[in-house]
Amino acid sequence: MKKIAYKILIIIFILALFSFLFLLIFKKDYGYDKVLSNEYGELKEADNVIPIAKNVTINGIDYLQSQLPIGIFGGVFTTSIMGEPKTFNPYNANDATSAELSEIMYDGLTQTNVVNGEVIPKLAKSFEILPDKKTYIVNLRQGLKWSDGVEITADDVYFTYNTIIFGGYGDGSAKDVMTIDGMLPKVEKIDKYTVKFITPKPFAPFLRNLSASIVPKHIFKNATDKGKQYFLTFQGVDVNPQNLVVSGAFKLKEYLPSQRVVYVKNDNYYLINKENKKLPYIDKWVMIIVGDTNNQTIKFESGLIDVLPVNGSLVNRYRELEKHGDFDLYNLGSSTNTTFIAFNLNNRKNKDGKYYVDIKKQLWFQDKNFRSAIDWAIDRDDIILNVFSGMAKPLYSAEPLNSLFLNQKVAKGHNKNLDYAKSLLKKSGFYYKDGILYDKNNNKVEFELLTNAGNTQREAVGVSIKQDLEKLGIKVNFKPIEFNSLINKIINSVDYDCVILALTSNINEPNAGYNVWSPYGALHLFNKRTNNDLKSSDKLLKFEEKLEKIFKQGALELNFERRKEIYDKYQEIVANENPLVYLYAPLNISAIRKKVKNVFPTKIGGLIYNMAEIYIEN
Count, residues in the chain: 618
Residue 278 lies in a domain: no
375 φ/ψ angles, rounded to the nearest 5 degrees: -60, -45
Of the listed ranges 35-44, 46-55, 552-561, the least confidently predicted one is 35-44
With respect to residue 607, please indicate whether it lies within any of the assigned structural domains: no
What pLDDT band is residue 351 in, cutting at 50, 70 and 90? confident
Asked if 53 contacts 271 with a C-beta cutoff of 8 angstroms, the reply is yes
Question: 562 CB contacts (<8 Å, ≥6 apart)?
Answer: none
- Distance CA(430)–CA(441), nearest Å, equals 9
Residue 195 pLDDT exceeds 70: yes
Task: Give me the chain's average pLDDT, please.
Answer: 89
Confidence of residue 18 (pLDDT cuts 50, 70, 90): very low
Q: How far apart are CA 256 and CA 57, in angstroms?
A: 39
Residue 581 inside a domain? The answer is yes
Domain holding 566, by residue range, is 337-586
| pLDDT > 60? residue 28 | no
Q: How many CB atoms are located within 10 Å of the residue 25 CB?
A: 9
The listed range with the strongest mean pLDDT (4-8, 370-374, 520-524) is 370-374
Within 37-183, strands assigned E span: 44-45, 54-58, 61-65, 76-81, 110-112, 119-121, 124-129, 135-140
Percent of the chain with pLDDT over 70: 91
- For residue 40, what pLDDT is reported? 38
Q: 45: pLDDT confidence band, cut at 50, 70 and 90?
A: low
pLDDT higher than 80, residue 401: yes
Kindly give, in sequence order, each residue whose CB lies less than 8 Å from that of residue 240, ignoring residues fewer than 6 positions away: none
Amino acid 537: pLDDT: 58
pLDDT digits (tens, 9 = 90+) for 77-132: 999 998 899 999 999 998 889 999 999 999 999 999 988 889 999 999 999 999 99
Cβ atoms of 71 and 281 within 8 Å: the answer is yes
Q: Domain of 426: which CATH number?
A: 3.10.105.10
DSSP 274-311: TT-PBSPS-SEEEEEE-SSHHHHHHHHHTTS-SEEEPP
pLDDT of residue 349: 83
pLDDT at residue 227, rounded to an integer: 95
State the Cα–Cα distance between residues 81 and 90, nearest whole angstrom. Answer: 17
Give a yes or no: residue 500 inside a domain.
yes
In a domain, residue 414? The reply is: yes
pLDDT, residue 15, reads 37
pLDDT confidence band for 2 (50 / 70 / 90): very low
C-alpha pair distances (Å), 266 with each of 245, 433, 456:
10, 66, 35
Question: Who wins on pLDDT, 588 or 351?
Answer: 588
Residue type, 306: D
pLDDT at residue 354 greater than cutoff 70: yes
Q: Pairing mode, if any, of strands 271-272 and 61-65?
A: parallel
What CA–CA distances, in Å, run from 217 to 139, 349, 429, 441, 540? Answer: 18, 39, 59, 58, 38
Residue 505 included in any domain: yes
Residue 125 has a pLDDT of 97
Instruction: Note whether residue 481 is domain-resident.
Output: yes
How far is Cα 163 from Cα 217, in angstroms, rounded to an integer? 10
Q: How many CA atoms lie within 13 A of 153 on its CB side?
A: 10
How many domains is the chain partitioned into structurally?
Answer: 1
The per-residue pLDDT for 533 is 62
The per-type count for the chain, helices as H runs and strands as E runs, is: 20, 27
Query: What is the distance between the alpha carbons of residues 471 and 437, in angstroms, rounded to a whole number?
Result: 10
Mean of pLDDT values over 346-362: 87
The answer as to whether 231 is a domain residue is no
The b-or-e profile of 283-300 (16+ CB within 10 A means b, else e) is ebbbbbbbbbbebbbebb
Which pLDDT value is given to residue 521? 85
CB 438 within 8 A of CB 488: no
Average pLDDT over residues 285-303: 94
pLDDT of residue 63: 97
**pLDDT, tens digit, 9 for 90 and up, residues 260-274:** 999 999 999 999 999
More confident residue, 313 or 18: 313
Q: Where are the beta strands (DSSP E) in 218-272?
A: 250-256, 260-265, 271-272
Categorize the per-residue pLDDT at 235 as very low, low, confident or very high, splitting at 50, 70 and 90.
Answer: very high
Q: Residue 280: is the preceding peptide bond cis (ω within 30°)?
A: yes
| pLDDT score of 24 more than 50 | no
Picking from 270-279, 280-289, 349-358, which range would have the lowest pLDDT averaged per residue? 349-358
Which has more pLDDT, 360 or 182? Answer: 360
For 429, list phi and psi in degrees, rounded to 5: 90, 5
| pLDDT tens-place string over residues 125-176 | 999 999 999 999 999 999 999 999 999 999 999 999 999 999 999 877 888 8
pLDDT at 47: 59
pLDDT of residue 534: 55
CA distance 216 to 223: 11
Instruction: Answer yes or no: is pLDDT of 16 > 50.
Output: no
What pLDDT score does 46 carry? Answer: 57
Question: Which range has the worst mean pLDDT, 1-5, 189-193, 330-334, 507-511?
Answer: 1-5
pLDDT at 26: 37
Cα distance between residue 243 and residue 537, in whole Å: 44
* In the chain, % of residues over pLDDT 90: 72
